[in-house]
Amino acid sequence: MSTHSPAPPSKGARWAGHVLSGLVGAFLLLDGVAKLFKPVQVVEGTVKLGYPEDVIVPLGITLAACSVLYLIPRTAVLGAILLTGYLGGAVATHVRVGGSAFSIAFGVGFGVLVWLGLYLRKPRLRALVPLR
């Protein structure tokens, strides 16, 4: 293992990473909080995917907690790992029920955006996954 520190990201990359992480995190947090109030659209959508209505609030708590962890800089990587698992479950659900390509790509895309936001601003992550 090398002892040198990875180069810090440029100011623009760091800024873009924070904005992207903030937008993605805010969207997922809003989705989690919406599940706590169980509006008709959320209940219908969840039941249509084959889940009982009584799992909506626990799913909302899980998503909101993971999103909060992602939005806190010290716990952002843990939050990203947990969100990856959550989004993977969402993708698997849509595949299982024969969901549209859009619904499947949406979950995958959000997972990519979660990690891209961190990649743009975290030098240690860039060192682990060099794209050059």
Mean pLDDT score of the chain, rounded to an integer? 94
Residue 75 covered by a domain: yes
pLDDT, tens digit (0-9, with 9 covering 90-100), for 32-58 = 999 999 999 999 999 999 999 999 999
Give the chain's domain count: 1
pLDDT, tens digit (0-9, with 9 covering 90-100), for 6-40 = 778 899 999 999 999 999 999 999 999 999 999 99
Residue 4 covered by a domain: no
Q: What is the pLDDT of residue 52?
A: 97
Its pTM stands at: 0.91
Q: What is the pLDDT of residue 83?
A: 98
pLDDT, tens digit (0-9, with 9 covering 90-100), for 52-94 = 999 999 999 999 999 999 999 999 999 999 999 999 999 999 9
Q: What is the span of the domain harbouring residue 34?
A: 11-128
Checking if the pLDDT of 1 tops 70, the result is no
| DSSP secondary structure string for all residues of the chain | ---SPPPPPPHHHHHHHHHHHHHHHHHHHHHHHHHHH--HHHHHHHHHTT--GGGHHHHHHHHHHHHHHHHSGGGHHHHHHHHHHHHHHHHHHHHHTT--HHHHHHHHHHHHHHHHHHHHH-HHHHHHS---
